[in-house]
Amino acid sequence: MNTRNMRILGFSQIKQQLVRLAPSSLSKEIARRLRPSPIQEEVIRRLQDTEEAVQYRLQEGPIDYGRLTDIRPALAKAARNIVPEKAECIAIWHNIQAYMIIKEKLAVPDTPYVQLSKRAASIADFTALQKNFSRVFDEDLQIRDTASPELFRLRTRIATLENRTKRMITEILQHKEYQKYFQEQLFTVRNNRYVIPIKQEYRRAFPGIVHDTSASGLTLYVEPLAMVDGNNELQTVRMGEEKELERIFARLTEAIKAQDEALLLATRAAGQVEFCFAKAALAEKMAAIRPRMGEAGVIRLIQARHPLLSPDKVVPNTLRLGDEYRVLLITGSNTGGKTVAMKTLGLQVLMHQAGLFIPAAAESVLAVFREVFSDIGDEQDLSQNLSTFSGHIKQLVYILRHCREKDLVLIDELGSGTDPTEGSAIAIAILDALKTRGADVMVTTHYNDLKNYAYETAGVENAHVEFDDKTLQPTYKLRIGTAGSSHAFSISARLGMPAEVLQFAEKIRKQTSHVDMEHILAKLNRQEKDLELREIETAQRLREITRQQAVLQREREEAAKERSLLLTAARQDAREAKRKLRIESEQIIKQLKQSKKKSAPEELAAVIQRTRQNIRDLSLPGSNEGGRVPVKSEELQNGDIVFVNSLQEAGKVVSVQGKNITAVVGTLTVRVKAKDVSLPTAAEIQEEKRREQKQTLQTATHTCKPVTRIATEVNVIGKTYADALPDIERFLDQALGAGFSPVKIIHGKGSGALRRQIHGYLADLPFVKEFKTAEEGEGGGAGVTLVYFK
């Protein structure tokens, strides 16, 4: 992209904002080098970087790893066997810790942040190098005494010698004979040697070596002769410490050198990651979005704002180009926002192709352009003796020579600076040439001839910036579809032009050929504004209707939910009623049995059987709401899967005898009438097949219990009483019908609460003769209840 065009459109200022948001010199350097790319794949990759960083900030928050340092100079030193300074080594250590945090946070499997993860994954594992640094430096960034055994020995010796020297100098300071010699009763350090401040007049009276003098010359800093040997020894040990530190740093340098390539790669990767998050921060600051990628030359910027203007003051506008028309001609008053609209488009295109989000609505679409050309502002060049018009034409010639398809051309005040008639003719010719080349073009002008050209030429569209005739102020609103007036008279009046001058100008204007067109344009613009107000009102009504529809839909859903709850409650009530009815009927049956001597046995048995069957055939509310399809017994074969209505479960048919069907449902073998079975759903068939496969697998690996015992026991261990009761009711019904007695209810021992609740339930059943806890020899002991039927 042309550097001049980027400067004119304000891209340099966007980069400055990005540089300020970049936290380290690494990411700042990347921001300064940022340029728009004309390659669509590269633009998509850059935008995806920004997208992932934006989403990460929203979902996870910022990554806290401190601020990176540019360690490349230190790595270059290490590569040449030059030992880095302590500060440089600490910077490398800090960066390694940051690299590991970035890798830990981003380089994770199945992450949605694919590109950020790929960058983080390129960071090598520096665990061993990090341990080397940790052995040398402590948390306060000081060199550890234990960095090497020799350093520990030397520092221990230094501490011992310093303590001895301080004791000696304290004794000298406290000596009574020397008190008058001292300027102050304290000691200090000069040239790394302990000294005492002595009054200048007692220099010869106090034996020692002078190392320094005060600014006034009244105080001498003297090393007592008695301490010379001690200070010398201390200095020798300190020099040994310095040499040992050099050896430690040399070893650290070797470790750095061994991984210098990996450290360089990690530095670049971390800088790129940091730059991605700087782009995300800029997007957040601008309330910007990622536009959809458009086809060649297509621009649809919805409610776009100029990125460098305050969101509170700028008027958003919708800009369309590249669909029905490739050339957009903007007219209207001066200071009305024509140039701002043009710069908004140009700058957003450059930002988009640099991988930055743009301040616009989410529905916006932007294509990738090969080049952006602009001629905005006064290009007068006094050094080359060029006038405003000459500079203008020179730039247009450059554009015409280099412009082609997939380019964007922005021209401000096309054809201005010369005779209006000639300028209009040149402007129309330039527009036609640019249109022929297939570029997207946006120009501003005041020439009426260009407005007519746009109305009469396919692929060229008029637009204008709105002007409020009442307030005599521009609204900065761009309207596409009609040309606008320059409003020169209104603006001149507002700025204080004498009335007599304007009256005379109006008289002259009425004699020109363009006066009718100005009135027509004004009328069209008023009509367009009225239509827009009606559209806004219609849209508001539509939104209200949509809101009301949503409210009605919610009410319907709530009503359906309430109906479902009522049906559920009704079914529960019906089940309870059926249970009570069964108890009452068993009591009647018991009474009938007691009076069986008065009736024939066959007749009595038939009455009992009919009563029990009628109870089983009772239906619950909504029990067939699913639209169950009945099955004819003659259509069934062994192995078919059916749905047993009374059990509300699917099972497999094992035999068909007339109207009676025997089926295995779970662990139960039941015999039911044909009218009690229905066609299963696909899901129920699949579930039954899965259950059969599971049972087959269990049969292959374990010894199965005899089939005859399947219906003689039910296991409810681990269930609550509410969950266990339906299973127990169903089991007792089937066992009673099959004639088994006694049967087992396996409930487990536990706290005994479930056993007591089951015993309380059995006590109310009239067809239960007795029940008791099983003996240890009967299997299960206190965890099993035996039930005997009458």
If you average pLDDT over residues 341-358, what whole number do you get?
96
Percent share of the chain, pLDDT over 90: 37
* 3-class secondary structure per residue, 493-559: HHCCCCHHHHHHHHHHHHCCCCHHHHHHHHHHHHHHHHHHHHHHHHHHHHHHHHHHHHHHHHHHHHH
**Was 333 annotated as part of a binding site?**
yes
Q: Could you give the dihedral angle defined by the CA atoms of residues 578, 581, 582 and 586, in that order, rounded to the nearest 10 degrees?
A: 180
**256-265: average pLDDT:** 94
Query: Looking at residue 489, what is its pLDDT?
Result: 61
The share of the chain scoring above pLDDT 70, in percent, equals: 84
Q: Is residue 627 predicted with pLDDT exceeding 90?
A: no
Give the pLDDT band (50/70/90) at residue 596.
Answer: low
Lowest mean pLDDT among 192-196, 251-255, 521-525, 759-763: 521-525
56-60, 389-393, 424-428: the lowest-pLDDT one: 389-393
pLDDT band at 385 (very low <50, low <70, confident <90, very high): very low
pLDDT band at 112 (very low <50, low <70, confident <90, very high): very high
Residue 474's beta-bridge partner residues? 467
Given a cut of 70, whether residue 472 has pLDDT beyond it is no
Q: Is 655 annotated as a binding residue?
A: no
Closest CA to 130 of 21, 266, 14, 16: 266
Among 52-66, 72-86, 645-659, the range scoring the smallest mean pLDDT is 645-659
Helix, strand, coil distribution of the chain in percent, nearest 5: 55, 15, 30
**Span 3-126+259-286 CATH architecture:** Orthogonal Bundle (1.10)
Tell me which architecture the domain covering 624-704 has in CATH. Roll (2.30)
748 annotated ligand binder: no
Report yes or no on whether pTM surpasses 0.75.
no
What confidence score (pLDDT) does residue 201 get?
83
755, two tokens: 């056993």
337 is in an annotated binding site: yes
pLDDT tens digits, 473-505: 777 888 888 876 656 666 566 667 787 776 776
Give the pLDDT confidence score for residue 529 in this predicted structure: 64
Q: Which of 287-301, 621-635, 693-707 has the highest mean pLDDT?
A: 287-301
What CATH number labels 292-506?
Answer: 3.40.50.300
Q: For 147-249, which CATH class? A: mainly alpha
pLDDT at residue 708, as a whole number: 41
Residue 346 assigned to a binding site: no
Question: Between the ranges 51-60, 62-71, 222-231, 457-466, where is the mean pLDDT highest?
Answer: 51-60
Q: Which of the four pLDDT bands, split at 50, 70 and 90, describes residue 681?
A: confident
pLDDT at 344 over 70: yes
Where in the chain are the domains? 3-126+259-286, 147-249, 292-506, 624-704, 708-790
Query: Domain 708-790 adopts which CATH fold?
Result: Ribosomal Protein S8; Chain: A, domain 1 (3.30.1370)
Residue 338 is labelled as binding a ligand: yes
Segment among 202-211, 578-587, 740-749 with least mean pLDDT: 578-587
Res. 149: pLDDT tops 90: yes
Residue 486 has what pLDDT?
59
- Fold match between domain 292-506 and domain 624-704: no
Distances (CA, A) of 211 to 161, 208, 224, 548, 752: 20, 10, 11, 94, 95
What is the spatial distance between Cα 302 and Cα 290, in angstroms, rounded to a whole number? 12
* pLDDT value for 702: 46
pLDDT at 270 over 80: yes
pLDDT class of 622 with cuts at 50, 70, 90: very low
What is the mean pLDDT of the segment spanning 223-246? Answer: 90
| pLDDT band, very low/low/confident/very high, at 707 (cuts 50, 70, 90) | very low
Report the C-alpha gap between 4 and 399 in whole angstroms.
13
Rounded to an integer, the average pLDDT of 295-310 is 92
